[in-house]
Chain A
């Protein structure tokens, strides 16, 4: 194995690792705030990537139906609560958030699809279609059982994953799609021939991490999320609504998923169910990082990317086994070195 190959593999590993790192952050964020292992994270990637590819092909992505339908269900749930509480004053806001916003986004997508607008505008439309799925998913799936145990929340996650994957198959079909690259440029550095797309992936990852840090450190909502993550009861006592934190966490997760999807769509073929495996590798990264620290999770995820890259060179038939097997020694080591604290509160 020559030095050139090592460089190539490192480059490949870092690009994939950057995507996994984004997902590891999203998973960690949702887990800290809602205690749910957020399995459907991967679906946001598939939805975003496939929506972008379809918009580029001049077709209306099926995401709009999921968005409008999901929004309608969320609105019905909220309206029922509002009527029970005899608080009709909430209705305009509910309708605006869960009905008008999705309809408006669907309208924009419908208008824009045949016009094949500039790529950046298409990306914005994709964000507009995928990001609102986060709060809608929280309202429909998680909020009714927000206080349940970690296991129940995990089962909800699995259910949400299957529903979203199934809808993805219905709306996107079984074959994969690929979107055009943001830029076809290549840079030659020594033996390496680095595509502008892969530079963009790494830059976007770093940028998102930096803005997440700013968000958590300096904004009131970020601090509210951190407070909920550190101590849910305490956060509630000082007036941070758990619903707001949960909804916000899933919005961020959907945003990160959408970014990952848009970044990865030109690099590989995306199927309606590809996101799950990508999300799973992000999850492995988060576990390697101990499922508690954001920087460690990011490093763990890049580690997964590198491991994957090198094992695909040496023993490609065993690549997935190698990547998923490393969880075991890490878990054994962690369970030996850290004292388990029962955090099922209340």
Chain B
């Protein structure tokens, strides 16, 4: 190959690189297939509704399927940092998958927007990670306040036999001393189980004042149906993973009265006018339902949307310091994310700091219950 051609090629390559760096690239890994797909699909849907720009600059979202598997999520994350040179990553809908991505993000010094609540992280990982959803403790504290106000002293727990089941249980456990109650059963089941009779019998024998279910989606319905069939009379609480319409469809009459914490967008219409997120939540819910059908609203799409809102607030600050596609820009973006203040999302108001990479407070959750086949805001 002659030298001039080589020089021309190198020059062309350099131009291509500068042309690409004007655009912001965000890598998104979601489990739109596999066991987590019922959550992954709405997470993904939200990306059809987000703006085409971030802080005024054009943005490219690279959305890959991780099949709800942590190893695939890690593979996607590595592809994002090595091949696509992304400025930030977002994902995933499963806790283990998100944790796998966080590891890659920290190793490669890339800002990571976690779209699922994650277990406590070591400082070096937390440094690069920002968590959109409400921490499980924040959500469960709404449940604890409610059951404390109603004088419950003993709580029966039944949850998924996976990380989610553990997260909800641990959150409940950490709130127990302040809430003045004891957790007297810790039963586990799997989403694909055909029966929870054994677990429910054990709970009935322990006879707790209330039961908390640590399932998600339609999977949360099975214990409640079984408990009601066996004649359990106490209140049954769920968590924010359960709040969707499919849960009510599957559970029918048996889930009437089920109580759960959730983000404000689920009951956007019923929020008082003074609620800080009312406008944003309502607007998002309307747009989502006009694209994906009436009643299709869910918390998960809101997390994707709020994640984008955080980036949108941080990108202009970072752009002042560096160009997209460079390590300097990624560091600047990280620092900017750490300092976003009063960002109103669909779920709540975000105020980040060096020690708090979630930034939501009590305004990020409401309690809802099932009444007449609908999730309604509890007064």
| Contacts from A to B (Cβ < 8 Å) | 2, 5, 8-9, 12, 15-16, 19, 166, 169, 173-178, 264, 267-269, 271, 273-274, 276-278, 308-314, 316-317, 319-320
Provided the pairs A176-B218, A176-B250 are in contact, do residues A316 and B192 lie with their beta carbons within 8 angstroms?
Answer: no
Provided the pairs A175-B217, A273-B192 are in contact, do residues A313 and B38 lie with their beta carbons within 8 angstroms?
Answer: no
Chain A residues with CB under 8 A of B36: 174
Provided the pairs A273-B35, A320-B190 are in contact, do residues A311 and B219 lie with their beta carbons within 8 angstroms?
Answer: no
Provided the pairs A12-B197, A12-B198, A269-B218 are in contact, do residues A316 and B161 lie with their beta carbons within 8 angstroms?
Answer: yes
Does A268 lie within 8 Å of B193, measured CB to CB? yes
Provided the pairs A175-B246, A176-B219 are in contact, do residues A312 and B38 lie with their beta carbons within 8 angstroms?
Answer: no
| Contact code string B35-58 (vs A, CB < 8 Å = 1, else 0) | 111111100000000000000000
The smallest beta-carbon distance between A143 and chain B, in angstroms, is: 29
A175 to B33, CA, bound (A): 12
The smallest beta-carbon distance between B215 and chain A, in angstroms, is: 10
Main secondary structure of the interface of A (DSSP, over half): helix
The smallest beta-carbon distance between B35 and chain A, in angstroms, is: 7
Does A12 lie within 8 Å of B195, measured CB to CB? yes
Quick one: closest A residue to B166, CB to CB? A317
A302 to B357, CA, bound (A): 51
The smallest beta-carbon distance between A320 and chain B, in angstroms, is: 6
- New A-B pairs, 11, CB < 8 Å, besides A174-B40, A176-B250: A5-B201, A9-B198, A12-B198, A169-B33, A174-B39, A268-B193, A269-B218, A269-B250, A273-B35, A317-B161, A319-B190
Does B198 lie within 8 Å of A310, measured CB to CB? yes
For the complex, is B205 an interface residue (Cβ under 8 Å from A)?
Answer: yes
Does A174 lie within 8 Å of B37, measured CB to CB? yes
Does A309 lie within 8 Å of B250, measured CB to CB? no
Chain A residues with CB under 8 A of B116: none
Can you give 25 A-B contacts (C-beta < 8 A)? Answer: A5-B205, A9-B197, A9-B198, A12-B198, A169-B37, A173-B38, A174-B36, A175-B218, A175-B246, A175-B250, A176-B38, A176-B218, A177-B218, A177-B250, A268-B195, A269-B218, A269-B221, A273-B192, A277-B192, A310-B198, A312-B195, A312-B198, A312-B199, A313-B198, A320-B190
Chain A residues with CB under 8 A of B35: 273
Does B217 lie within 8 Å of A316, measured CB to CB? no
Does B194 lie within 8 Å of A268, measured CB to CB? yes
Cβ contact of B195, chosen from A2, A178, A309, cutoff 8 A: A309
| Contact code string B196-218 (vs A, CB < 8 Å = 1, else 0) | 11110110010000000000011
Quick one: closest B residue to A180, CB to CB? B252
**Which of A169, A276, A310 has the most C-beta atoms of chain B within 10 angstroms of its own C-beta?**
A169
For the complex, is B74 an interface residue (Cβ under 8 Å from A)?
Answer: no
A178 to B187, CA, bound (A): 23
Chain A residues with CB under 8 A of B201: 5, 8-9, 313
Nearest first, the 6 A-B pairs at minimum CB distance are A312-B198, A174-B38, A313-B198, A174-B37, A12-B197, A175-B246
Quick one: closest B residue to A1, CB to CB? B205
For the complex, is B228 an interface residue (Cβ under 8 Å from A)?
Answer: no
The smallest beta-carbon distance between B26 and chain A, in angstroms, is: 24
Query: In B279-333, which residues have CB < 8 Å from any A CB?
Result: none
Chain A residues with CB under 8 A of B101: none
For the complex, is B222 an interface residue (Cβ under 8 Å from A)?
Answer: yes
Cβ contact of A309, chosen from B190, B192, B198, B217, cutoff 8 A: B198
Chain A residues with CB under 8 A of B222: 268-269
A56 to B188, CA, bound (A): 31
Quick one: closest A residue to B158, CB to CB? A316
Chain B residues with CB under 8 A of A178: 221, 250, 252
A313 to B197, CA, bound (A): 8
A308 to B244, CA, bound (A): 30
Chain A residues with CB under 8 A of B189: 312, 316, 319
Does A316 lie within 8 Å of B38, measured CB to CB? no
Chain A residues with CB under 8 A of B78: none
**Which of B35, B219, B250 has the most C-beta atoms of chain A within 10 angstroms of its own C-beta?**
B250
Does A312 lie within 8 Å of B219, measured CB to CB? no
**Which of B191, B194, B221 has the most C-beta atoms of chain A within 10 angstroms of its own C-beta?**
B194
The smallest beta-carbon distance between B202 and chain A, in angstroms, is: 5
Provided the pairs A175-B217, A269-B221 are in contact, do residues A316 and B188 lie with their beta carbons within 8 angstroms?
Answer: yes
Quick one: closest B residue to A2, CB to CB? B205
Provided the pairs A174-B38, A175-B246, A176-B219 are in contact, do residues A267 and B161 lie with their beta carbons within 8 angstroms?
Answer: no
